[in-house]
Amino acid sequence: METIKIGLIGLGTVGAGVLEIISDPENQAKIENTIGRKLAVKTIVVHNPNKPRPVDTTGINVTTDVDEIVKDPEISIVVEVMGGIHPANEIIEELLQAGKNVVTANKDLIASNGPKLSALANANGCDLMYEASVAGGIPILRTITNSFTADQILEVKGIVNGTTNYILTQMREKQWSYDHALKRAQELGFAEADPTNDVAGIDAAYKMIILSLFAFGTQIKLSEFNVSGIENITDQDVKQAGQWGYVIKLMGVAKLVNEKLFVEVAPTLVPKSHPMAVVDNENNAVMVTGAAVGDTLFYGPGAGGLPTANSVLSDITSEAKNITLKTTGKSFNSYQHERQLADPADVKYSYYLAMTMPDVSGQMLAFTTLMTKVGASFERIEQTNREDKLADVAVITHAMTNQQLAELKQLVAESETLKLDAAYKVLPS
């Protein structure tokens, strides 16, 4: 039986998972039965070849020189799991120019340069696949490509970052502070030593860029939409949301509004009756809403070596089939549709507002006056007096536009006594 030889760039958590799965005799037998070919890792590129590894590399060429993969005619599939945009971008460009088929889990790179790299792959008659770049163990990209071809996708929303979901789960279930939950996430390996990309929403934003490209055919930039993280969520926000029947999640959303595209990543109050409300800890979920099929939910582990490696293996086996059938050179995602970004005046949500104001008469009236000035109104409101002569006021508004919210924030900022501590959208039931 013919063997398809693989190069692996990176042997961290995901790279080790790929090697572990592909080396398992039972998995190998299933792969051979499915594609009619054997798969074998021939060369692995690492920074330090002498570093102890959690997987057996016996019989595999372990090197620091990427040219040993680029210039090896026997290697037809290369898996890039080193992460980061540079030098990964330059290495993948070199691989594609050499006619190598590339599989990557690099969301940062795909969100930034995916279309350019895909075009380079097409020009050289090879493939670029990246299922594992979004939501780890959930095969969401291939599902959108294959299962929604004849349906118009109206919205894609989800919990696509395991680190922030773990932190928010612990804040709710164990009444931990944000700092305590973050520290525990770091101890468990769910958060990096520098967690900025996760907690500031950037990681989720990269994934929403990729999901938007697949669902709507539109390439957007990180600078073109609102990205807010969880760093400022307080114990009181979590408690108040729970008392009102909500849980707080970091949600990514991409949807059509009057045929224009709205994309956002931000903390969101999710009704406890909503399927997303029970997606806890490091798990992810993506809900795709189609004009014909309605709501469909995809749930699974959002990170981790083996779940992500499983998605990488899915791409490897798909690539091996393409090589066998001589059908390489087709785009992983060929859907393209230029769209304008939605007008803030057309995007409506209810909002949870957390305010601080002096505990004296007239302050609620002052805030109500500002709400009236922008044409907004309350659905519910609750005031909690403090010992320092201040009052915490929590509000859920009726549906208002992003433009109204921006105007309200400006008016509150100009006030000498009112302070807006948080403004989170509320997901409809």
Q: Annotated binding residues for NADP(+), as ranges?
A: 9-16
- Residue 343 to residue 257: CA distance in whole angstroms: 8
- Residue 394 to residue 407: CA distance in whole angstroms: 19
- Bridge partners of 248, per DSSP, are 269
Nearest to 167 by CA among 253, 229, 211, 228: 229
Rg (CA), the chain: 24
Nearest to 150 by CA among 254, 292, 259, 257: 292
- Residue 2 to residue 35: CA distance in whole angstroms: 11
**DSSP structure class, residue 341:** B
C-beta separation of 388 from 359 below 8 A: no
C-beta separation of 412 from 352 below 8 A: no
- Of 100, 207, 249, 255, catalytic: 207
Q: What is the largest CA-CA distance in the chain?
A: 83
Annotated binding site: 9-16, 107, 192
DSSP output for 224-269: GSEE--STT--HHHHHHHHHTTEEEEEEEEEEEETTEEEEEEEEEE
Name the CA dihedral angle for 129, 133, 139, 141, rounded to a multiple of 10 degrees: -70
- 426 CB contacts (<8 Å, ≥6 apart)? 246, 268, 269, 349, 350, 351, 352, 396
- Residue 74 to residue 42: CA distance in whole angstroms: 9
Residue 64: count other Cβ atoms within 10 Å of its Cβ. 10
Write out the H or E segment, with its range, that includes residue 183: helix 178-187
End-to-end CA distance of the chain: 54
Residue 207 falls in the annotated catalytic set: yes
Amino acid at 136: G
Annotated binding site for NADPH: 107
| Active site positions, annotated | 207
